[in-house]
Structure 1
Amino acid sequence: MSAPPAEIPFTHRKPVIYGIGVSAALCAEAVCAPFDLAKTRLQIQGEVANKLDYKLVTAPRRGMLKTVYGIAREEGIHKLYQGFSAIVCRHAIYTGTRVTAYRYMKEDLLKYTRTEKVPIHVGLGCGLLAGAIGQFLGTPADICRVRLQMEGKRKLLGLEPRVTNLRGAFKSAWNQGGIMGLYKGATPAIIRGALVTSGDIGAYDFCKRFILNTWDVQDTQLLHIVTSLCSGLVAAVVGAPADVVMTRTLHQRYSTTGESLVYAGVWDTVKKSVRNEGILSLYKGFVPLYVKCGPWALIFWVSYEQIEKSLGGTGW
């Protein structure tokens, strides 16, 4: 008579993993959302191809700190969290999905244990697929996030308002083509989500297991800090160009029939950005991106580990 299957530990259940991932992401965003806003503003800054909103192109250029200070002074300190409702909506879909999908692929499909060191290509590959799935589902919320984050700047420059809240942003995107309107710019968003997740979750998992299996160290918060900073750097470096392309594609204007008025697609966005502003345009906003990715990864992973351990688990 075969033995009954072992009971799945509480913190290993997929809905629990999903919930921990979302909770940890919101802890990180509570601190890092202003830098995400600054990153979005800097990526649009000097966007020569966008001739429809010329005031955005010709507006005085600012660095990261001046952008953050300018938002607080000109729009109000509370505006540093503009678009936060869309950020919450995004992570409730994107991060919960990618964390759970990564675990499923690594442990259920490929049969690696939680504590087993996986080859780097396995970790990065699982991260790519998990990020692509999560970002595909979360793209509508990302569209709303980008548009809401740019509204304060548009108002200061005297441009017509487009959206005022999360509901209005969803409605506006829907009116530009129904379900397809909610997925305008999905391709660069998915590429970005895949690359960032590969660098974030894949690199964190690999680095943590590599250190634990190579040296005689304990699974402490110091280890979580070191590995999370490494994963944040990898995520920022590999994801920056796709992040710029995604932001510009999601922010661009569309006709009443849903046709794009600035960029024809991903490659067109890359060509126009590089031709008009140089190759480094693909790394615009990199400093706030890493300032966000580094601390974001730090807070996310430390929070994830502590939340899971508080629920009786052993951590990632």
Structure 2
Amino acid sequence: MGDQNKPKPKTIPKWLNFVIGGTSGMMSTCFVQPADLVKTRMQLMGPAGKKVSTLAVAREVARKEGVRGFYRGLTAALFRQATYTTGRMGCFNSLLEYYKSTYGGTPNFATKICLGMVAGGVGAFAGTPAEVALVRMTADGRLPKEQRRNYTNVFNALGRITREEGITALWRGAGATITRAMVVNAAQLGTYAQAREALLPSMGEGIFLHFCASMISGLVTSAASLPVDIVKTRVQNAAKGTGQVTVLLSIIKNEGVFALWRGFLPTYAKIGPHTVLTFIFMEQLNSLYFKMA
């Protein structure tokens, strides 16, 4: 009888999970956009990139394009977070809460991985047009002036791609994007949830817990996702449609298998802090909701 009268724990409305997830991702992107741009430039270098360091690429951007050059494509990056991250984070948190309420317990690590993959696939499909625009805008500065697309913002990019190449071009590389997203989210969301759960008894709730769990998650995610991320970037930057298997085999044949992890440092420099900031912002926004509810 007492259990029946016991108030149910507060939960965040499903729609708010999506809003909080997207907002957290957009706030984090403002901090990590320079690392993402350097990573993209390195991934597009091909065999010539073997002898080029992260620092050299960053210096080249600063010399030719100035500080503002590091934020080329920021509107596309924010729009990507508003679509992709809103979908994946909201979907994952909603699925996690559904599992807990339905089965009355915390899912094991394998289940968290599966939930992360589902959430990643859903978010990636929604975010592919913004992803295509982002890759092209961040890559533009490395091209000769006469070959640059010179998109002014993400909406200009989306409109021109639709008019010049057809609406299906907005989903170019969707297969590679979804593959990457499933790997990223399985690693990032699943590992974060598991690390948070494992560290909670010794650390207690708080920002330091969120930071440590996020750094573990970011490291695993960077190593797991970089090969599919490189393939996705090459596919989306191509002028004509190219299959991800063809691109993958071409990289291995012409550049060697370790080229699949080219740009690891800027990738981790982006994913690590982005993961940390996203989850910290998300946890703080969740706490704010519970205080105000």
**Same fold per superposition (TM over 0.5):** yes
Q: Equivalents in 2 of 1:313, 1:122: separation in Å?
A: 30
Query: In the aligned structure 1, how far is the partner of 2:245 from the partner of 2:120?
Result: 21
Q: Any conservation in 1 of the 2:18–2:91 contact (CA below 8 Å)? A: no
What per-residue deviation string (whole Å, max 9, x for no partner) do you get for residues 45-90 of structure 1? 1x25xxxxxxxx5x89532122222212211111111000001111
Over aligned residue pairs, what C-alpha RMSD do you find? 2.5
Aligned to 2:77: 87
Match of 1:164 in 2: 151
Contact persistence 2:180–2:229 (CA under 8 A) = yes
Residue identity in the other structure for 1:82: R
Q: Give the match for residue 274 of structure 1.
A: 252
Q: Does 1:240 align with 2:226?
A: yes
Residue 175 of structure 1 aligns with an amino acid whose one-letter code is R
Question: Which residue type is aligned with residue 121 of structure 2?
Answer: A
Q: CA deviation at 1:30?
A: 1.2
Say if 2:180 and 2:228, in contact at 8 Å, map to a contact too. Answer: yes
| Distance in 1, Cα, partners of 2:214 & 2:172 | 32
Which of 281, 285, 289 aligns to 1:303? It is 281
> Whole-Å Cα distance in 2 between the matches of residues 181 and 171 of structure 1?
11
Deviation per CA, 1:187-220, whole angstroms, max 9, x where unpaired? 11111111111111111111111223xx344111
Q: Which letter maps to 1:104?
A: S
CA–CA separation in structure 2 for the residues paired with 1:139 and 1:12: 27
Letter in 1 for 2:252: V
> Does structure 1 conserve the Cα–Cα contact (< 8 Å) formed by 2:19 and 2:90?
no
**What is the rounded CA distance, in whole Å, between the counterparts of 1:162 and 1:207 in structure 2?**
43
> Within 1, Cα distance between the matches of 2:255 and 2:50?
16
TM-superposed CA distance for 1:148, in Å, is 0.4
Q: Quote the Cα distance in structure 2 between the aligned partners of 1:162 and 1:219.
A: 48
Given candidates 190, 196, 221, the residue that maps to 2:207 is: 221
Q: Which runs of 5+ in 1 are unaligned?
A: 49-56, 255-259
| 1:289-300 to 2 correspondences below 5 Å | 289-300=267-278
Counterpart of 1:144 (choices 130, 133, 145) is 133
SS of equivalent residue, structure 1 residue 311: helix
Contact 2:188-2:218 within 8 A present in 1 as well: yes
SS class of match (1:12): coil
Distance, in Å, in 1 between the alignment partners of 2:146 and 2:261 is 26
CA contact (8 A) 2:99 2:107 kept: no
Query: Hey, what does 1:26 align to over in structure 2?
Result: 26
Aligned equivalents of 1:98, 1:291: Cα separation in 2:
21
Aligned residue in 2 for 1:257: none
1:36 maps onto 2:23 in alignment:
no
2:281 matches 1:312? no
Over 3 Å counting, the alpha-carbon distance change for 1:252 and 1:282 in structure 2 is: same
Q: Unaligned 5+ residue runs, structure 2?
A: none
Q: 1:300 to 1:65 in 2, by over 3 A?
A: same
Number of residue pairs matched?
288
Structure 2 match to 1:99: 89
TM-score of the two chains, using structure 2 as the length reference: 0.90
1:196 aligns with one of 159, 184, 192: 184
**In the aligned structure 2, how far is the partner of 1:113 from the partner of 1:14?**
18
Higher helix share: 2
Q: Give yes or no for contact 1:33–1:80 (8 Å, CA) kept in 2.
A: yes
Shift of 1:289: 0.5
Cα pair 2:35 2:266 within 8 Å, conserved: yes
Counterpart of 2:290 in 1: which secondary structure? coil
Question: Bigger shift: 68-77 or 100-109?
Answer: 100-109
The answer on 1:135 being equivalent to 2:124 is yes
Distance (whole Å) between structure 1 residues aligned to residue 116 and residue 122 of structure 2: 10
Residues 205/113 of structure 1: CA separation in 2 closer, same or farther (3 Å cut): farther
Give the residue type in structure 1 aligned to 2:70.
Answer: L
What CA distance in whole angstroms lies between the structure 1 residues aligned with 2:255 and 2:44? 12
Q: Which whole-Å CA distance do the structure 2 matches of 1:298 and 1:65 have between them?
A: 23
1:70 aligned onto 2:60: yes
Which AA in structure 2 matches 1:292? K
2-side partners of 1:75 and 1:248: how far apart?
22
Query: CA offset at residue 8 of structure 1?
Result: 8.4
For normalisation by structure 1, the TM-score amounts to 0.84
C-alpha separation between the residues in 2 aligned to 1:159 and 1:282? Answer: 30
1:123-154 CA-to-partner distances (Å, cap 9, x unmatched) read: 11100110011011100000000000011111
Identity %: 26
Q: Distance in 2 between matches of 1:174 and 1:86?
A: 15
